């Protein structure tokens, strides 16, 4: 497989997007509960000037976990791309070096939009941040090349 292509192994996705390649998280869409899980090994490349996980990366992980969860909800087999219509993040505690995990959960919605909550926890289970967002499936004509 070409290194420019995403690697999917047992419903674990690596390198699917430029952001994922740059930051280095792994997406797991294998759990039967329908919730996507993103894990990141935080190191000095991911920290801000205070030595903790940068808030922009926290938001990116939560948004991506929520989007993948929405994709699973829409069609778990094909994982259609989702578009964030609105997204809010609440920062609760600092995250230091080590693993963090972002998980999404669909809380409502209908035919055209989904409401998804996210949470980011460190390896000890401490809640680092939460999010809420509204997502919709990307129209088919937008995904054609």
Instruction: Read off the pLDDT of residues 104-119 as tens digits, 9 standing for 90 and up.
Output: 999 999 888 999 999 9
- Residue 60: name the closest of 87, 81, 82 by CA: 87
- Higher local confidence (pLDDT), 111 or 136: 136
| Residues recorded for the chain | 145
pLDDT tens-place string over residues 60-104: 999 999 999 999 999 999 999 999 999 999 999 999 999 999 999
The mean pLDDT value for 30-53 works out to: 97
What's the pLDDT score for residue 19? 94
What's the pLDDT score for residue 7? 52
Give the strand order in the sheet containing 7-9: 7-9, 12-14, 26-28, 37-42, 98-109, 114-122, 127-137, 82-91
The mean pLDDT value for 18-47 works out to: 96
What's the pLDDT score for residue 5? 45
> What structural domains and CATH numbers belong to the chain?
24-143 (3.10.129.10)
What's the pLDDT score for residue 134? 98
CB 39 within 8 A of CB 12: no
């Amino acid at each position: 497989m070409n290194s420019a292509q995403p690697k999917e192994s047992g419903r674990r996705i690596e390198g699917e997007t430029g952001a994922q390649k740059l930051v280095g998280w792994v997406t797991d869409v294998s759990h039967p509960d329908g919730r996507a899980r993103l894990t990141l090994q935080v190191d000095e490349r991911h920290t801000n000037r205070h030595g903790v996980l940068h808030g922009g990366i926290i938001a990116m992980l939560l948004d991506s976990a929520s989007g993948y969860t929405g994709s699973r909800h829409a069609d778990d087999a094909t994982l259609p791309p989702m578009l964030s219509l609105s997204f809010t993040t609440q920062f609760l505690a600092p995250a230091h070096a080590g693993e963090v995990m972002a998980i999404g959960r669909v809380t409502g919605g209908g035919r055209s939009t989904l409401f998804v909550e996210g949470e980011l926890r460190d390896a000890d289970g401490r809640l680092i941040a939460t999010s809420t967002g509204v997502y919709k499936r990307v129209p088919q004509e937008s995904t054609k090349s």
